[in-house]
Amino acid sequence: MTKTRASGRTVGGLRTLFLQAPAVTLLLLWMIVPLGMTLWFSFQYYNLLMPDMAGFAGVENYQYLLTDPALWKAMGNTLLLVGWVLAITVIGGTLLAVLFQQDFAGRGIARVLAISPFFVMPTVSALVWKNMMMHPSNGVLSWLFESVGLPALDWFSALPLTSIVIIVAWQWLPFALLILLTAMQSLDEDQVEAARMDGAGPVAIFFFITLPHLKRAISVVIMIEMIFLLTIFAEIFVTTSGGPGLATTNLAYLIYIRALLDFDVGTASAGGVIAIILANIVAIFLVRMVAKNLED
């Protein structure tokens, strides 16, 4: 009887592996082939403008990139962009989640309107902000400034990185709001009411009940947003093209410059490998942080 059961489990396991094999193989090819090609080209001389200059480059592409001030400027811009957007979306999303949890007239419509920007495509969002909101002559923000006696501001020249932060934060704030508002639904109202009866005010309830309850959801928001924010491209491409100079060039846009403007595939591939390493370091850190919060 034991042998029969063991045999049945073996046959069932083999059948399961056989059915899963095509999907797993396709997934591995989809991941490994681009990664392998990126690694290969990162060690090659491969410039489309100089086809005769080809061959094994060793680590020269990495040496050139790591000694290029543009790389460190791009990495600094990337960290600033990610850090400021995370701060705005997490803090703003938490406050808005608390607000929209309250009962007021038109709450359903307000929730839909607040979440809607997340479904706008990045290119469209960037165009709207560039031509309708931040335009120095015809923008809404310029009109508001002039209406209170302040001079109009050319956002993408005077505050280029700040402008990108505002656009990206406007897109990702609804995502944080959606996750945190969903988490608010499971908050025990009896606990909140008991705190009120004990004399706790709104501020105390927020810091000692609401915020600890949202800790896991905030960790998830930070993890998901940071992974996507490391690859911000469309907003920069549409609005500033990485300028003025390198003021808004992040790591993703620097790779684009090297690959499709300078036609240096080898150096761009080396930049891609550096970006992969950076993303994995961030992912490991964030996964551990989320796992720790889930265990608490």
Q: Which two tokens stand for residue 170?
A: 């406007």
Q: Assign domain 43-295 to its CATH superfamily.
A: MetI-like (1.10.3720.10)
Q: What angle do CA 247, 249, 255 make, to 5 degrees?
A: 155
246 pLDDT band (50/70/90 cuts)? very high
Q: At CB < 8 A and 24+ separation, what contacts does 10-14 make? A: none
Cα 173 to its chain centre, rounded Å, is: 11
The larger pLDDT score, comparing residue 175 to residue 283, is at 175
Model confidence pLDDT, tens digit, residues 80-121: 999 999 999 999 999 999 998 888 888 889 888 888 888 889
Q: Are 169 and 85 in contact (CB under 8 A)?
A: yes
Residue 181 has pLDDT above 60, yes or no: yes
List, for residues 247-286, the tens digit of each pLDDT value.
999 999 999 999 988 889 999 999 999 988 888 888 787 7
Distance CA 289, CA 296 (A): 11
User: How many Cβ atoms are within 10 Å of 282's Cβ, its own excluded?
Assistant: 16
pLDDT of 27: 85
pLDDT of residue 294: 61
Question: CA angle at residue 234 from 140 to 289, to 5 degrees?
Answer: 105
Contact yes or no for 242/253 (Cβ under 8 A): yes
Radius of gyration of the chain (CA): 25
In terms of Cα–Cα distance, which of 184, 204, 185 is closest to 194? 204
